[in-house]
Amino acid sequence: MIDTIVDVLTRVPVEHRDSAEENLLAFAEEAGHKQVAALGARILAHLDPDGREPDAVEPVVPARELFLRRKRTGMWELNGTFDDETGTRASALLDALAECRTADEGPDFRTLPQRYGDAFSDALDLALNSSDLPIQAGERAHVMVAVSLEDLRSGVGRATLGDTGEMTAAEARVHACDSMIIPAVLGEKSEPLNLGRLRRLISAGLRRALFLRDRGCTFPGCHRPPRHCQGHHIRHWADGGPTDLNNLVLLCAHHHRLMHRSGWEVRIAPDGLPEFLPPTFIDKRRKPRRNNLHEPLPFAA
């Protein structure tokens, strides 16, 4: 009962505390605990009908900071501090994208930090490919890459990335297939020959057709869904390859790079579906392989 009286008195305005204490103690000599608590509630309702003033009128803005800077080596350094909700969402997203790869090119030897780094890169691709991305200067966010036509065809040399960065010409070939990194292909006198017009980039309609046909990354054993994939030209567009369904396959970012840097080859089989030929060090006979992990359309042949 004493605790009840003390609790009431701590909430009574100071100027009325003495009289309230006198009334409660006198009542407590003859009444029980419930009756004293009820009297205390009536006193508070009479003296302070609005209750305590809220601690803050406006909700507290979550504390979020992010620092991103480019080092002289060309590597970027990122660190930041986030509130618990944002950190939990980021962890869930990166965990989902950082799973060990299971595909026919062999085991995944990446460390956990390396898997998280690749997952962050994949998350950026998902964001850049979103139709909800804010418009800047009349366009969706993108990065411009300048590379000479000769270097793009050979894959040897350097390309300028954005305002200050660099990448290899071989890497530029990867992004030239289908990406929000738009290549500006230059001639001998640095005149623009191609600025990533729609005749090369995969249209929305063609992308939907790829999604329906391939159902995800087509590399054997890869489980990545269509939204994590890019369109890959079987015959590179710089070599005269057309941007049509029979010259395109869906590949996740990892296997897209693998196709540009390894002995794997891809082709469209007579039934219209992609199949892959492994390098000889994996299979001397180079027996064609397919990805059977993605469920085909229920009415597909």
Supply the CATH number for residue 270's domain: 1.10.30
Does a structural domain hold residue 135? no
pLDDT, mean of residues 143-160: 67
Does a structural domain hold residue 283? no
pLDDT score, position 197: 42
pLDDT digits (tens, 9 = 90+) for 208-250: 888 888 989 999 999 888 888 888 888 886 677 787 888 889 9
Does a structural domain hold residue 100? no
Residues 149 and 187 sit within 8 Å (Cβ to Cβ):
yes
> Structural domain of residue 242, as residue ranges?
204-277
Say yes or no: 219 and 174 in one domain: no
pLDDT digits (tens, 9 = 90+) for 163-198: 556 767 677 666 666 554 455 555 555 545 454 443
pLDDT score, position 275: 95
pLDDT score, position 21: 79
Query: Rounded distance, CA 232 to CA 242, Å?
Result: 11
Say yes or no: 209 and 259 in one domain: yes
pLDDT digits (tens, 9 = 90+) for 30-87: 777 777 777 777 777 776 666 565 555 566 677 899 999 888 887 889 999 999 888 9
